[in-house]
Amino acid sequence: MTEDTYEESSIVHEPSREFVESTNVYEFMQAYGIDDYDELIRRTTESVDGVEASGIEWFWDTVPEYLDIDFYEPYDAVRDDSDGPQFSEWYPGGEINLAHNVVDRHAAVDAEARNSVACIFEGEPGDVREVTYHELARQSNKVANYLESVGIETGDTVGLYMPMVPEVISILYGCFKVGAIAVPIFSGFGVEATATRIADSECSVLFTGDGFYRRGTPLTLKEAADDAIEEAGHVEHTVVYDRLDDDAEVPMGARDEWWDDAIEGRDDEYDTKSLPSSQESMLLYSSGTTGKPKGIVHTHAGVQMQCAKEIYFGFDHKPSDRFFWVSDIGWMMGPWTLIGNHTFGGTVFMYEGAPDQPEPDRFWEMIDRHSLSTFGISPTAIRALRKHGDEWVEDHDLSSIRLLGSTGEPWDPESWQWFYENVGQSEAPIINISGGTEICGCFLMPMPTQPLKPTSLGGPGLGMNIDIVDESGSSIADDHERGFLVARDSCPSTTKSLWSGDERYLEEYWSTWDDLWDHGDWAQKDEDGFWFLHGRADDALNVAGRKVGPAEIEGVLTEHDAVNQAAAVGVPDETTGTAVVTYVVLEDGYDGSDDLRNELSALVGEEHGKPFRPREILFVSDFPKTQSGKVIRRAISSLYQGEELGDMSSIENPEVLDEIEAAT
């Protein structure tokens, strides 16, 4: 969607009055006399008539009671920001524990949710398990007792390098119970990336598995864990979950124990610790594309409030929901999904394998068979599935879906429309969200009550004071110009710092402008009030003085029948300052040729103008991507220009780097 045409896009989703009045956010608005969406955002972010507190403080003080979130000890104030938004302390004086809110209270003897399902798991081979809240509580308690038996105390780090099986939930919640800091590590990482995170976090306990299934093949995990530990050190105890049931092939050493031996025999009762609101809960590593990965520090109170708020209001949680977000526990969307839904005793669906195993309809088949109501996925994955054709979706009943979700990168309008029409049946809204690991949540998030334009992110999330500024830091949101996405205030889940220290934290996020969080995204608000993202600001293509986001060039290319995926990068050019170079992944049955290059170049020229016609179009089989599916364009640009790549430990598929380099 180009800068000249995005404002002309029309509303394609208009929720019915009946649906609007059934939503949780509508009920909240009625309770507090809020008339419309604009007033809702103002009330929760800016000011409240007749109240001294800011809208931010009013909203975040309202959330715990409204969402029935328990504190062991009440907080003295909603926050202490005497050190500025960079180091706000939220809910000081209060004591809380995530595990109490997400599992303990639901599993209590007199709780209605005790025997309800917390997780439905489906393995790639087709095996299905259901775990109730009672079972989850018992297993989480066993994990907590194990951790204490090996000397883990409040503030110690524990690594999770696990396949996506229900046991990851009990490990996460067991860490919360004892006050340990959970360190989720993406199961698809190789040795270097895993070792980097173990070395940085210095975790003495690592949970892992013998392996998992992917595209019909068992992949081993334990050997990579061993090699990473050998490189990183620190780990004294490794607990190995038996997913593949092939004990003879798994190397076991002196520090290793099988899950059954280490966990299953433990006491299934544990007294969950009461912890300060600001006690660290998780250390989440960002999938940064250059430099050392950033260890982002989250607290018990912070992620509790943010995840619960977003699931309840943005995704309109209902007791009957079955929530499926395609994610690994090593990406923030994994903990976000679990914490947000389990706060309300909800059911999370977990899938182990690939979206096209055994056929490209695996997601649609599971939605149909399990009657899933909420489905979240990245735009990259939808673009790939869309290319297989509509018939794979049409063969399944997807009427159980109430809401769709997406995050990770900007959409192209055509893929967004396909997702809305074919998966959402032109009825389910796409809650397209954008935030980051740094807040374990969203800066931008449409409410389900809002109309939607293709690719829009609605507007600021509730309780999030978000703006668009120019290079001087002046607001330009209402000028409808492209600018930099910033936060003018903190929120409870804003990282309290980086694991490596305050200096890098301040440099990364607070050094561009005074008291503004620089998120690094390029954003725009149209004349109808809809917010859009155009990719990372440092990925912008500034050709002959005019900027476009790479996603806009890529969207044009992927509309060609021959193109499956595209990546556009800017490189130095003597004439225009920057020239566009594109890499293209072709559909099966098509060959890269000069004729095809000319066709694709002409398409870009027609849509964006001649200056944006690619200087080169190069054909490859895949792109380097982060664990969340984002294309690492800076790596592609560096390879094209022969520059040093820097740290690539976050990359999911390092083998493609050689192909990208050879294509130049």
pLDDT tens digits, 507-522: 999 999 999 999 988 8
Planar angle of CA 574, 576, 581, nearest 5 degrees: 90
When pLDDT is cut at 50, 70 and 90, the band that residue 408 belongs to is confident
pLDDT for position 75 = 98
DSSP track, 165-232:
STHHHHHHHHHHHHT-EEEE--TT--HHHHHHHHHHHT-SEEEEESEEEETTEEEE-HHHHHHHHHHH
- State the average pLDDT over residues 370-389: 91
Among the ranges given (304-313, 447-456, 588-597), the one the predictor scored with the smallest mean pLDDT: 588-597
What is the identity of the amino acid at 627?
Q
600 in Cβ contact with 612 (< 8 Å): no
C-alpha to C-alpha distances, 4 to 7, 379, 476, 546, 612, nearest whole angstrom = 7, 23, 17, 12, 14
Virtual torsion, Cα 537, 541, 545, 547, nearest 10 deg: -60
Quick count: other Cβ atoms within 10 Å of Cβ 37?
A: 18
Rounded Cα gap, residues 465 and 481, in angstroms: 19
pLDDT for position 637 = 85
The helices-and-strands tally (H runs, E runs) of the chain is 22, 31
238 in Cβ contact with 256 (< 8 Å): yes
User: Average pLDDT over the chain, rounded to whole?
Assistant: 91
Strand partners of residue 219:
212
In this prediction the pTM is: 0.88
Rounded Cα gap, residues 232 and 210, in angstroms: 20
* 463: Cβ contacts below 8 Å, ≥ 6 apart: 44, 45, 55, 56, 59, 60, 63, 309, 491
Helix, coil or strand: residue 251: coil
**Buried b or exposed e, range 242-261, using 16+ CB within 10 angstroms:** ebbeeeeebeeeeebebbee
Rounded Cα gap, residues 633 and 640, in angstroms: 11
Asked if residue 4 has pLDDT above 70, the reply is: no
351 in Cβ contact with 122 (< 8 Å): yes
Rounded Cα gap, residues 484 and 490, in angstroms: 17
Rounded Cα gap, residues 652 and 639, in angstroms: 17
Q: Which of residues 494 and 636 earns the better pLDDT score? A: 494
Percentage of the chain exceeding pLDDT 70: 94
pLDDT for position 290 = 45
Among the ranges given (572-586, 613-627, 630-644, 646-660), the one the predictor scored with the smallest mean pLDDT: 646-660
**Which residue segments constitute the domains of the chain, with CATH numbers given?**
133-321 (3.40.50.12780), 540-663 (3.30.300.30)
C-alpha to C-alpha distances, 454 to 1, 36, 93, 458, nearest whole angstrom = 10, 22, 44, 10
583 in Cβ contact with 556 (< 8 Å): no
Asked if residue 538 has pLDDT above 80, the reply is: no
Residue-wise pLDDT for 207-220, tens only, equals 999 999 988 899 99
Residue-wise pLDDT for 425-447, tens only, equals 999 999 999 998 999 999 999 99
- State the average pLDDT over residues 264-279: 98
C-alpha to C-alpha distances, 400 to 4, 16, 327, 392, nearest whole angstrom = 38, 17, 21, 17
When pLDDT is cut at 50, 70 and 90, the band that residue 2 belongs to is very low
Structure tokens belonging to residue 106:
């639901």
Cα 16 from chain centre: 29
458 in Cβ contact with 429 (< 8 Å): no
Nearest alpha carbon to residue 561 among 416, 419, 394, 386 = 386
Whole-angstrom distance between the N-terminal and C-terminal Cα of the chain? 28
Among the ranges given (213-217, 238-242, 402-406), the one the predictor scored with the smallest mean pLDDT: 213-217
Rounded Cα gap, residues 21 and 33, in angstroms: 14
Residue-wise pLDDT for 104-154, tens only, equals 999 998 888 899 999 999 999 999 999 999 999 999 999 999 999 999 999
Among the ranges given (60-74, 245-259, 313-327, 628-642), the one the predictor scored with the smallest mean pLDDT: 628-642
Residue-wise pLDDT for 285-299, tens only, equals 985 444 578 899 999
Asked if residue 403 has pLDDT above 60, the reply is: yes
Cα 576 from chain centre: 36
Residue-wise pLDDT for 32-64, tens only, equals 999 999 999 999 998 766 665 689 999 999 999
- State the average pLDDT over residues 564-571: 88
pLDDT for position 547 = 65
Residue-wise pLDDT for 158-188, tens only, equals 999 999 999 999 999 999 999 999 999 988 8
- Spatial strand order of the sheet with 616-619 comes to 563-573, 577-586, 616-619
pLDDT for position 81 = 93
Nearest alpha carbon to residue 285 among 655, 656, 653, 651 = 651
